[in-house]
Structure 1
């Protein structure tokens, strides 16, 4: 049983995100929480009015209710339970505690290519700081399958960038093709590359897991990741250190591998 959190504004788009989660966790029975979160306002007046305003936004319309019922019938085997939870929060700690208390396995975060709502932008900023798997889904992404998965390695061989058991159990399945991608700059010593590979092959959590390794020489990490995505038609990019790796994987100012992956229409799963 896998437990998933998906942010919702009680729109049909959020229900479409459910399909992405079920596709990634193919064969698993899932408990899905549609999290309708409300950012806390800055002013005292707005804070006093918050319960009244929140109550107005809590009732889904008839179209949403019908679509939710159809979704449950269509995925009756995969969806054990689906519920809507309302949460007022303004810190990552609140989200983190919610995830821990409810033993959540995966959080989805939609990334808009157009104009994201304030609530979705706020939710995305909060989940960047929680130490749990977050699947970033680019807008307009079409659900097909997550068969080819690329884990981005750290050439410095920091073992904390390798996947933990929970992530391996989540993604390393028999019908998935898993590749560990090591991008190294020209001039990188063979000793450093060997050190990174030794750390990978020695990782206890990967014993018994079938995977391949791809070495790619490129001037920077992001260019290497994006070219690999395009050449091998990768379905999902995985980074195991959300904050440091996504900040490190840059191509130009304020451009992370997550943004580049989105530009190539590929979802990115990352862990803080």
Structure 2
């Protein structure tokens, strides 16, 4: 008898009830999987030694005073008792990219959720800071625009770039999302004017000749645009999408993380969640 693998998800929190809204999206992506969710609270390191020594007490204070937040956590644990094996808050001192990367790698995280805010929150920019830092991590990241209504990811658009021969076509996360009959995938191929036909044929063959895709409800949509993001914007303006997806093979060299920067910007502009697999 095989033991089911528990998927580990990191979600940033500023210890407000509003920051818990991202949890439902993590469960959507890991449909049918049991999840261990870590709510990561970043605590910037102070400049002075006395303030540094007081950090453990500050952590204890936050745990005690946030009664409303803790009650909300209990409600979520009860509501998602099957989907969530554990839901805990972890405090991380420091807000640098290496600190976050080390945490993600050490914990073996499978997915990171990032809020994408239309405007910066002047009262507490913890979530905004986390999103900027998370662009430099290597695991899949799901960018969620603020005030996005909760819905199932049924209409999925997988973006393919003819200029990137290492673009992923299928990934376990995508296959998991499409495990059922209530979804439809559009493979969006963005190509520049004057693109060599061999490049276009290479991408199209990856779709049409893939055996796994023969069992999936899908189609191909071609858009000619000067840049990658422009093609995505054009598509989203005309067609409805519940989720945008893009991916790149981990083993290949290149600017993998630039795709995450693009995804964050696209999610903010289109108001559509964007899953980036790297």
Shared fold (TM-score greater than 0.5)? yes
Corresponding position of 1:168: 174
1:190 aligns with 2:203: no
CA distance in 2, matches of 1:59, 1:245: 40
Q: Tell me the TM-score normalised to structure 1 length.
A: 0.84
CA contact under 8 A between 2:241 and 2:272: conserved in structure 1?
yes
Q: Cα–Cα, structure 1 residues 191 and 97, in superposed 2: closer, same or farther, change >3 Å?
A: same
Displacement of 1:198 in angstroms is: 3.1
Displacement of 1:180 in angstroms is: 1.9
User: For 1:30, which of 27, 32, 35 is the aligned residue?
Assistant: 35
Corresponding position of 2:277: 271
Displacement of 1:57 in angstroms is: 3.1
Q: Cα–Cα, structure 1 residues 163 and 107, in superposed 2: closer, same or farther, change >3 Å?
A: farther
User: Aligned runs of 1:180-259 on 2, under 5 Å?
Assistant: 180-200=187-207, 211-241=218-248, 243-246=257-260, 256-259=262-265
CA contact under 8 A between 2:120 and 2:128: conserved in structure 1?
no
Corresponding position of 1:155: 162
Displacement of 1:240 in angstroms is: 1.8
Q: Secondary structure at the match of 1:107?
A: strand
CA contact under 8 A between 1:157 and 1:199: conserved in structure 2?
no
Q: Cα–Cα, structure 1 residues 141 and 171, in superposed 2: closer, same or farther, change >3 Å?
A: same
1:68 aligns with 2:73: yes
Count of residues in Structure 1 that have an aligned counterpart in Structure 2: 263
CA contact under 8 A between 1:183 and 1:218: conserved in structure 2?
yes
Q: Secondary structure at the match of 1:23?
A: helix
1:16 aligns with 2:11: no
CA contact under 8 A between 2:159 and 2:189: conserved in structure 1?
yes
User: What are the Cα deviations for residues 193-239 of structure 1, in whole angstroms up to 9, with x where unaligned?
Assistant: 11222345567886865543221122332222112123221111122
User: What are the Cα deviations for residues 127-153 of structure 1, in whole angstroms up to 9, with x where unaligned?
Assistant: 111111111111111111111111211
Corresponding position of 1:126: 133
User: What are the Cα deviations for residues 80-137 of structure 1, in whole angstroms up to 9, with x where unaligned?
Assistant: 2211111113333332232233222111111112333332222112211111111111
Q: Tell me the TM-score normalised to structure 2 length.
A: 0.82
Corresponding position of 2:62: 57
CA distance in 2, matches of 1:170, 1:264: 24
Structure 1: 5+ residue stretches without partners: 248-255
Displacement of 1:60 in angstroms is: 5.3
CA distance in 1, matches of 2:101, 2:56: 23
